[in-house]
Amino acid sequence: MAIADSVTAPMQSRKRVLIVDDEPSICRALCQLFEADGFDVAIAANVADAKGEFSRQQPDVLVIDVRLPDGDGIAALQELRREYGTDVPAIVMTAYGDLETATRAVHAGAMEYLPKPFSLEDVSRAVARALKRGGEEASNEVRRTVPDVPLLGESVAMQRLFKQIALAASSDLPVLITGESGTGKELVAQAIHRYSGRSGPLVAVCLPALNPALIESELFGHVRGAFTGAVSDKAGYFEHAGGGTLFLDEISEIPTGLQAKLLRVLESRTFCRVGSIRPQPMQARVVAATNRRLNRLIKKGGFRLDLYYRLSAIHLHVPPLRKRRSDIPLLAEYFLGEYAARTGATLRFDESTLRELRRRDWPGNVRQLRFAVEYAAVRAREGVVLPEHLPAPEDRPPTGRSLNRSVLKRCLYRWGKELAEQILEQHGEDAQGALYNLFQDEAGRSFLKGVLDACSGNLSLAARLLGMHRATLRNRLRS
CATH number at residue 45: 3.40.50.2300
Q: Are 373 and 420 members of one domain? A: no
Name the nearest CA neighbour of 16 among 36, 1, 44, 35: 35
Q: What are phi and psi of 111, to 5 degrees?
A: -80, -30
pLDDT tens digit at each of 479 positions of the chain:
445 444 443 334 678 899 999 999 889 889 988 888 888 899 999 998 988 888 888 888 899 998 899 888 888 888 887 777 677 888 888 876 677 777 777 767 777 778 777 788 888 888 887 776 553 333 322 222 333 446 888 888 888 899 899 889 988 999 999 999 999 999 999 999 988 888 889 999 999 888 777 888 889 998 888 887 777 888 889 999 989 999 999 999 999 889 999 999 999 999 999 998 999 999 999 999 999 999 889 998 999 999 999 999 999 999 999 999 999 999 999 999 988 888 888 999 999 999 999 999 999 999 999 999 999 999 998 899 999 999 987 544 444 344 455 666 666 666 666 666 666 666 666 655 556 666 666 677 777 877 777 776 778 778 877 777 777 788 777 76
Q: Are 380 and 422 members of one domain? A: no
Are residues 389 and 357 in contact, defined by beta-carbon separation less than 8 angstroms?
no
Quote the CA–CA distance of 176 and 189 in Å, as a whole number. 9
Residue 198 belongs to domain spanning: 156-317
Q: Which of 389, 423, 441 is the last residue of a domain?
A: 389
Residue spans of beta strands (DSSP E) within 254-342? 270-271, 280-281, 285-290, 314-317
In a domain, 405, yes or no: no
In a domain, 81, yes or no: yes
Q: Are 198 and 222 members of one domain? A: yes
In a domain, 139, yes or no: no
Q: Are 372 and 460 members of one domain? A: no
Q: Are 194 and 265 members of one domain? A: yes
In a domain, 403, yes or no: no
Q: Is the dihedral of CA 252, 255, 259, 262 positive or negative?
A: negative
In a domain, 141, yes or no: no
Q: Are 289 and 332 members of one domain? A: no
Quote the CA–CA distance of 68 and 71 in Å, as a whole number. 5
Q: How many domains does the chain have?
A: 4
Q: Are 201 and 117 members of one domain? A: no
Q: Are 177 and 307 members of one domain? A: yes
CATH number of the domain within which 466 lies: 1.10.10
How far is residue 3 CA from its own chain's centroid? 31
CA geometry: angle 67, 69, 72, nearest 5 deg = 40
